[in-house]
Amino acid sequence: MTARCMRSLSGALKPLFSNRLSRVCAAATCNQRQRSTYTTIPPPAQYGGRHTVTLIPGDGIGPELANHVRELFRFCCVPVDFEVVNVDSSMTSEDDINDAIMAIRRNGVALKGNIETNHNLPPSYKSRNNLLRTSLDLYANVMHCQSLPGVRTRHRNVDIMIIRENTEGEYSSLEHENVPGVVECLKIITKTKSLRIAEYAFRTARAKGRRRVTAVHKANIMKLGDGLFLECCKEVASGYPEIAFDSMIVDNTTMQLVSRPQQFDVMVMPNLYGNVVSNVCAGLVGGPGLVPGANYGEDYAVFETGTRNTGKSIANHNTANPTAMLLASCLLLDHLKLHAYAAMIRRGVLSTVSETRLHTADLGGQGSTSEVVQSIMNAVQSTGPRTLST
């Protein structure tokens, strides 16, 4: 609320924002904002040099990991304030998630834990995570799977960037039962979204200096649907002659991934295949506790663990691996252009992960979460210039 007042002040105080279309008098126009089509890029929620980021703890291991992130940020004096929005997954009303969405619209950036989707609730209860992604139009899910030094896996030198369409495909939540006992689920593929995700994939590949983009599909069976996706990818590929483009059917892709994952560079695919392939790749580099994920839209960015696990069975046991969440927070800092802090924390995290005796249970060790975080803080203190002296 003070944020909104300050925004109008910031308009006057910060000439930095004069180049961008800005939202002024946010408080009065709040309702309008929810209904307006977002053609304006919201300015960063940066007041007095400090950013405000929405934090959604979620369920399971989310809250404890989010606490560790805050602890670490405080320790490193990162100029980020968290606006915490709790989403209760057991409530059937959508108020909680709408509040969270509003907070993200206001701040532009969020860090979230996974919100559980209870199977026992009726089908009209939509997945909260899905609602968030579609309302904010976070169309690209980017996951960078890299073999980390110090983590022993069966495959080495894996470096795959997975770009997954995040809003349509099989996750449309459109199902109906016209005849009892026969359920039809709709999988939607649109030209605009396919072009958009392909564009994003190629742009990212170019920005990161990647050589090859592989589209994953099942167009031999879903000729119109995945055929359209493939066509859009080919169209976009023609505009990037320096990047090699090829396509592979999803079953062959998964088989190649378990035998020779080093052949893949950047992969782009629709929603469901993205889910499966990203989980396979996460498994290849060491498991769900290591890989961060980012969801990008035109205007918003939400960061979370790559494989979106709630981890209910290990919640509050102090055994969860905080690496994924911490690396996600580094991605967040990079997005906020706080590169120095991001590099500092990332260095600390990677040096801790390479110490086998600190590995948590998912990596085959016996370390606890708090030990790992403490070790990261020590690493940061010994290398970084700006830390709290404790």
Interface with other proteins by CB under 8 A: which residues?
A: 117, 119, 123, 127, 130, 154-155, 170-171, 173, 175-177, 180-192, 218-225, 227-228, 230, 250-252, 254-259, 272, 275-276, 278-280, 282-284, 287-288, 307, 309
- Kindly give the pairing relationship between strand 50-56 and strand 80-84: parallel
Q: How far is the CB of 352 from other proteins (least distance, A)?
A: 21
- Report the residue number, 171 or 296, with the smaller CB distance to other proteins: 171
Long-range contacts of 38-47 (CB under 8 A, 24+ apart): 38/298, 38/299, 41/298, 41/299, 42/105, 42/106, 42/108, 42/299, 43/7, 43/10, 43/17, 43/108, 44/108, 44/109, 44/336, 45/3, 45/106, 45/107, 45/108, 45/109, 47/3, 47/6, 47/7, 47/10
- d(CA 312, CA 61) in angstroms, rounded, equals 7
DSSP reduced 3-state for 177:
strand
Nearer to other proteins, 190 or 387 (CB): 190
Nearer of residues 77 and 174 to other proteins, judged by Cβ: 174
- The nearer residue to other proteins, 13 or 174, going by C-beta atoms, is 174
Instruction: Name the minimum Å distance from CB 38 to other proteins.
Output: 22
Nearer to other proteins, 67 or 173 (CB): 173
3-state secondary structure of 215: strand
Which amino acid is located at 346 in the chain? R
Min dist CB 29 to other proteins, Å, is 32
- CB of 33 or CB of 155, closer to other proteins: 155
Q: Which residues, in sequence order, are CB contacts of 109 under 8 Å at separation 6+?
A: 44, 45, 51, 53, 54, 300, 301, 302, 303, 332, 335, 336
Q: Which two tokens stand for residue 337?
A: 């252009």
- The residues, any chain, with a CB within 8 Å of residue 147's CB and separated by 6 or more, are 153, 155, 156, 157, 158, 159, 285, 286
Identify which of residues 54 and 323 has a Cβ nearer to other proteins in the complex. 323
Which tokens go with 208?
A: 């990161």
Beta carbon of residue 72, minimum distance to other proteins (angstroms, whole number): 26
Q: Supply the minimum distance, in Å, between the C-beta of residue 326 and other proteins.
A: 20
Q: In angstroms, give the least distance from the CB of 185 to other proteins.
A: 4
- Residue 93, Cβ neighbours under 10 Å: how many? 9
Distance in Å, CB of 107 to other proteins, minimum: 27
Nearer to other proteins, 188 or 350 (CB): 188
CB of 286 to other proteins, least distance (A): 8
